[in-house]
Amino acid sequence: MIELINISKTFNRGKPNEVNALHSIDLYVEIGEFLVIVGSNGSGKSTLLNVISGNIKPSSGTIALDGRDVTDRTDYQRSRYIARVFQNPLSGTAPDLSILDNFRLASLRTHGKGLTIGINEGFKYEVMEKLSLLEMGLEHKINQPMGTLSGGQRQAVTLLMGVMANCKILLLDEPTAALDPRSADIVMKMADKLTHDFNLTTVLITHNLKDAHTYGNRIIQMAEGRIINDVNEANKAKLAPTDLFGWFV
């Protein structure tokens, strides 16, 4: 589903502050795989995710999504495959728009935004049904501005919005970093459930080693722009949490 071939990224090439964020990365993520990426700050995790989403153009190498070369496609052109949840709960939704409007936009991720009014009773019902999955009582608040929701609610809603349109890839960039433990738990469980239910290919970046241990069926560790550990499903199940802590010593 996600195929990175020989991806390198250098920031500020030829300047004193040159940074080699990624060193010829080769990575293949299968359909339905839930990949967890761990690594210290500056190890290149976020750059990798941004290269997949198209927010950062790699210096060399090619990226294919769903078997199609998308190296020269911009982020908004790749959005037909990709749903994203950002670290900042504010980035994934539009705060001044109603929950309903946000969902409408999300449902059109893979379509053009036309000059017709798309919100009708059927659509409202669909959104309310989706929201009731969260069990946060949000299904009765669809006309409220998104900004009135808490950070945890917004992250959970962002996740749901991701699957409104036919998405294939879910990119989670530290989605729980700004959340309290309970909200973080809801968001992670939701991500796990959606990955299974919709057979998504999910990539999660996290600093929470407990989450890294609990979720996903493959884990890689990055350091200085390289993948230094790659543990598949069978071996990941055998990993103890302490083994993961050992990686960072």
Residues that bind other proteins (CB under 8 A): 53, 74-77, 79-80, 82-84, 86, 90-98, 101-102, 104-106, 108-110, 113-119, 143, 145
CB of 154 to other proteins, least distance (A): 11
Residue with tokens 């890294």: 212
Q: Residue 198 has which token pair?
A: 């919709």
Q: Are 173 and 46 in contact (CB under 8 A)?
A: yes
- The bridge status of strand 82-85 relative to strand 169-173 is parallel
CB of 201 to other proteins, least distance (A): 16
Q: Are 201 and 97 in contact (CB under 8 A)?
A: no
Whichever of 143 and 229 has its CB closer to other proteins, that residue is 143
CB of 218 to other proteins, least distance (A): 24
Whichever of 149 and 209 has its CB closer to other proteins, that residue is 149
CB of 171 to other proteins, least distance (A): 9
Whichever of 53 and 217 has its CB closer to other proteins, that residue is 53
Return the amino acid letter for 186. Answer: I
Whichever of 131 and 227 has its CB closer to other proteins, that residue is 131
Residue 76: Cβ-neighbour burial (10 angstroms; 0-12, 13-18, 19+):
exposed
Whichever of 120 and 242 has its CB closer to other proteins, that residue is 120
CB of 135 to other proteins, least distance (A): 24
Whichever of 67 and 112 has its CB closer to other proteins, that residue is 112
CB of 27 to other proteins, least distance (A): 21
Q: Residue 226 has which token pair?
A: 């390289």
Degrees, nearest 5: CA angle 213-2-194: 55
- Strand locations in the chain, DSSP E? 2-11, 19-29, 34-39, 60-65, 68-69, 82-85, 169-173, 201-205, 218-223, 226-231
